[in-house]
Amino acid sequence: MKHSNIAIFVPHAGCRQKCSFCDQQTITAQRSLPSHADVRCICEEAFREISDLSQTEIAFFGGSFTAVPHPYMVELLEAAQPYAQRCRGIRISTRPDAIDGGMLHMLRTYGVRAIELGAQSLDDRVLELNGRGHTAADVERASEMIRREGFELGLQIMPGLYGSTPESDRATAEAVCRIHPDTVRIYPVVILDGTPLGELFKAGTYQPRPFADMVGEVAEMMLGFMAEKIRIIKVGLHASEFVGDHALGGYYHPAFRELCESRIFRGVIRAAVIAQDGMKWKDVYKIAVHPGCISKAIGQRQENLHYFYENYGTRLYIIPDQTVAPLTCKIVKEN
């Protein structure tokens, strides 16, 4: 059953400052904050269209939900509550330093079941350089409270931030694995015009790592999360013409996740061949993958096929096989 969110954006509501990379009005393509009536209207419309609400959540995204002025937070929650009772509940995203016991109790009474924290990094230096205003310890403390109170916990991380390195981002992913949230979203940084990060980029002070390197780094993180059975619910900013128009650099790609999964396949196929034939690569291999993974195994513009031909002199034929698990492969033995 496919999960869906009825997304209600509260751009920058509750934010104490603007983080270096953030412009929620561009990301959400929304300038104003929703009212009680807006929330009801969005829910009514969505409920008319969704036939099975059992996997649907009402999601307040785009701000620091638990830091918005209390009367406004209650206004939004009261508007959503009757609908939350008819679907899976409410999901919110917020800052790690805006969580306390009283807040969690209140959220539960209104039907909130999942809380996502914008962690971005678990390196205090990177957090400070990007104006986050919280520490890695805040992420750990808030995560612990959220889990203890029985909410689903999600962490959002942003590899490639100003001041980060492949090592610091890898350490962040490892720290996330230790915290072990239920879900993770990976948003490789997108440099938006009009943000402090955009200014650093234009001044040449901040130079993001090469795009292809970031694809490899995120693929490695994904493997780590999958090994820990942490559900990866998003990789890359959602595709939007607003983001595309305002991106100065960084890692905006409408199919970033697919790029990373193709990179994962590169490693999976290489490992399968080496396990079978050592480093004696044959001229041709027939590789079976799950039917839903054919394009990922081949790669955009057939880049995986080119990679194996150029590096190992081998031609791959990718074929569908229902019995092969997603993101794995099986070498088909020739008779």
Nearer to ligand SF4, 63 or 250 (CB): 63
If binding is defined by CB under 6 A, does position 234 make contact with ligand SF4? no
From the list 24, 28, 56, 164, which residue makes contact with ligand SF4 (rule: CB under 6 A)? Answer: 24
Nearer to ligand SF4, 94 or 304 (CB): 94
**Region binding ligand SF4 by CB under 6 A among candidate stretches 14-22, 75-83, 278-286, 323-331:** 14-22
Nearest to 164 by CA among 129, 212, 119: 129
Burial of 227 (0-12, 13-18, 19+ CB in 10 A): exposed
Q: Which of 118, 159, 249, 299: binder of ligand SF4 (CB under 6 A)?
A: 118
Binding of ligand SF4 by 96 (CB under 6 A): no
CB 78 within 8 A of CB 111: no
| Nearest by Cα to 249 from 296, 214, 299, 217 | 214
Distance CA 66, CA 68 (A): 6
- Tell me whether residue 143 or residue 262 sits nearer to ligand SF4 (CB atom): 143
SS3 (DSSP) at 113:
strand
CA dist 210 → 7, 73, 95, 122, 283 (Å):
32, 41, 29, 22, 32
DSSP designation for 67: G
Q: Quick one: 21 or 308, whose CB is closer to ligand SF4?
A: 21
CA gyration radius, the chain:
22
Residues in 51-70 at the binding interface with ligand SF4, rule: CB under 6 A:
63-64
Rounded distance, CA 263 to CA 318, Å?
A: 15
The phi-psi region of residue 205 (left if phi > 0; otherwise alpha if psi is between -120 and 50; otherwise beta) is: alpha
**Residue that the structure tokens 């509260």 belong to:** 10
Size of the site for ligand SF4 (CB under 6 A): 10
Nearer to ligand SF4 by Cβ, of 18 and 282: the residue is 18
Amino acid making up residue 304? N
Binding ligand SF4 by CB under 6 A: which of 6, 8, 9, 22?
22
Minimum distance of ligand SF4 from residue 24's CB (angstroms): 5
Q: Which is nearer to ligand SF4, 196 or 216 (CB)?
A: 196
Q: Which stretch binds ligand SF4 (CB under 6 A): 13-21, 72-80, 167-175, 251-259?
A: 13-21
CB of 19 to ligand SF4, least distance (A): 3
**Segment near ligand SF4 (CB under 6 A), from 17-25, 143-151, 293-301, 319-327?**
17-25
CB distance 266 to 216 below 8 Å = no
Q: Report the b/e string of 184-195 with b at 16+ CB within 10 A.
A: bbbbbbbbbbeb
| Least distance CB 130 / ligand SF4 (angstroms) | 9
Edge-first strand order for the sheet with 152-157 is 4-9, 56-61, 89-94, 112-120, 152-157, 183-186, 231-235
In angstroms, what is the minimal distance from the CB of 243 to ligand SF4?
14
User: Which member of 12, 88, 209, 253 binds ligand SF4 (CB under 6 A)?
Assistant: 12
Q: Smallest distance from the beta carbon of 180 to ligand SF4, in angstroms?
A: 23
The full DSSP string for 13-28 is TT-SS--TT--HHHHH
Question: Does 40 participate in binding ligand SF4 (rule CB under 6 A)?
Answer: no
* Closer residue to ligand SF4, CB minimum distance, 63 or 299: 63
User: Is residue 15 a contact residue for ligand SF4 (CB under 6 A)?
Assistant: yes
Examine residue 20 and tell whether it contacts ligand SF4 (CB under 6 A).
no
Give me the residues that bind ligand SF4 (CB under 6 A), please: 12, 15, 18-19, 22, 24, 63-64, 95, 118
